[in-house]
Amino acid sequence: MKIKDKTIVITGAGRGIGRALAIRFATQGAHIALLDMNAADLAAATQQCVDLGVRAKAYTVDVSREAEVAAALDAVVRDFGSLDVIINNAGIVKDALLIKVKDGDVVGKMSLEQWRAVIDVNLTGVFLCAREAAERMIKLAKGGVIINISSISRHGNAGQSNYAAAKSGVASMSTVLPPNSTKIEGRVRRSCGSEEWHTAQSQPTVGTPMDVPLPRTVSVAFIT
């Protein structure tokens, strides 16, 4: 796909990986729709894209809320006249051991709130954004690309049962996108090796707890 003049939606675009992606695609001439919950971060990231000479617009949205996602993507289509790519990058962490034991006594455990918060954003958010973007791409009849970002942590990581479950879910969900729609006809999946990822991390970043040197898994679905 030629990036120049395409409309790319990026969730979690206010900082970290999301902002870095927005700036990278803006340097290649893409128009950027930035979605995030933090209005101040969004404003700063959006201005950086505008300064690169492309159209960029911020949308404050909670990706775990169905109505907000639908309204935001409707606004993107209205504002840009297209929706060519969505990158489902938004994610949070709320780490805790499932059960914490000290001297034979249970002294802590992951709360239901911690579990639900991460599942809602990192898994349900990807589901909602992918589904709503696919619907609009199909209606626009221009094709499109849905990119879901998972993590090597899907294989399990101490203190991250919520995060691992969510990222495993993203990877699994991405494999079944094509069979669940007659208009989603292809999928390419690649794992970013640690050497490649560390090289990417050596480039300037904006700084965030999510800027961790772990490989990401990228799943790509094509709307035809």
Alpha helices in 92-193 (DSSP H): 112-119, 125-140, 161-175
The answer to whether 186 and 155 have CB atoms below 8 angstroms apart is no
118: amino acid identity, one letter: V
Domain count, the chain: 1
Structure tokens at 141: 């009849």
Per DSSP, the residues of 21-55 read: HHHHHHHTT-EEEEEES-HHHHHHHHHHHHTTTS-
Q: Is residue 2 part of a domain?
A: no
pLDDT of 179: 55
Q: Is residue 17 part of a domain?
A: yes
Residue 56 lies in domain: 7-223
Return d(Cα 101, Cα 113) in angstroms, integer.
20
Return d(Cα 130, Cα 169) in angstroms, integer.
13
Q: Is residue 1 part of a domain?
A: no
pLDDT of 23: 98
Which CATH number covers residue 198?
Answer: 3.40.50.720
Burial (Cβ within 10 Å: 0-12, 13-18, ≥19) of residue 34:
buried
Q: Is residue 192 part of a domain?
A: yes
pTM exceeds 0.85, yes or no: no
Active-site positions read: 163
In angstroms, the Cα distances linking 184 to 40, 137, 144 are 35, 10, 9
pLDDT of 1: 67
Q: Which residues of the chain have pLDDT under 70?
A: 1, 151-159, 178-224
